[in-house]
Amino acid sequence: MDMASLQEHFKSPDQSVRLKAALAAGTYPESDYIPVLIHQCAVESDFFVRDTLSWALMRHDRETVVASLIPELRSPIPQARSQALHTLSKIGDKANYSLITKEHLFDEDDSVASTAWRTASVLVPEDKKNDLVKILVTQLGRGDGDTQFGLTRFLCTIGDPIVKPLEEAAKSDNENVRVHAEITLIRFKELRLEFKKLQSK
């Protein structure tokens, strides 16, 4: 499949056609596909196709892909920012942590911010964890239940550095912040207990 054919397939209203095109682009990677895949990330309406687009990008040269994602991280289109962050999390290289900015972590769009939280929690180097936790704790109580549940999960991924900041947040006068902090602490303690049980087996 050449680049023009890939573009035509992505224009199809049929989700299965777009999905097969993304699969083909990842199975038989070509450098010309990278800008087409990245453009589709910004406009693709289907979750499964978007996830396959990220997978397809991972099958290409990582340095070229990351360089191509950087402009998307500054895009005015929320989905472009979110999908670029998601792809960085899938690539999983901690060297890319610096590409996640405070603007992403505080993004006014909850889906972008949530993706930034998740990506940061995956890529954060050990010596940056405390600074990241300080930022993420300020987002406690934000958004709907799914957004808050996501933040709890991502904080728990970071580990022990979250405990003291969460204990402080649990004293907040803001009820949403206080309850969210308490729930996150409970969840983290549950996960830690489950981990210890697994280790003892």
Read off the pLDDT of residues 3-49 as tens digits, 9 standing for 90 and up: 999 999 999 999 999 999 999 999 999 999 999 999 999 999 999 99
Looking at every residue in the chain, the average pLDDT score rounds to 96
Q: What pLDDT does 200 receive?
A: 72
Per-residue pLDDT band for 140 (boundaries 50, 70, 90) equals very high
Average pLDDT of the segment spanning 170-191: 96
Three-state DSSP at 175 gives helix
Q: Which two tokens stand for residue 6?
A: 């890939």
Q: Which two tokens stand for residue 105?
A: 């972590």
Predicted confidence (pLDDT) per residue in 116-138, tens digit: 999 999 999 999 999 999 999 99
Is 117 in contact with 136 (CB distance < 8 Å)?
Answer: yes
Is 31 in contact with 61 (CB distance < 8 Å)?
Answer: yes
- Across the chain, how many H-helices and E-strands are there? 12, 0
Q: How far is the C-alpha of 63 from the C-alpha of 61, rounded, in Å?
A: 6
Q: What pLDDT does 198 receive?
A: 74
Q: How far is the C-alpha of 120 from the C-alpha of 92, rounded, in Å?
A: 10
Is the pLDDT confidence value at 201 over 70? no
Chain centroid offset of residue 180 CA = 21
Quick one: which of 78, 74, 127, 125 has its CA closest to 101?
74
Quick one: which of 62, 72, 114 has its CA closest to 92?
62
Is the pLDDT confidence value at 109 over 70? yes
Structure pTM? Answer: 0.92
Q: What pLDDT does 13 receive?
A: 97
Q: How far is the C-alpha of 43 from the C-alpha of 53, rounded, in Å?
A: 11
Alpha-carbon Rg of the chain, whole angstroms?
19
- The CB density around residue 30, as the number of other CB atoms within 10 Å, is 13
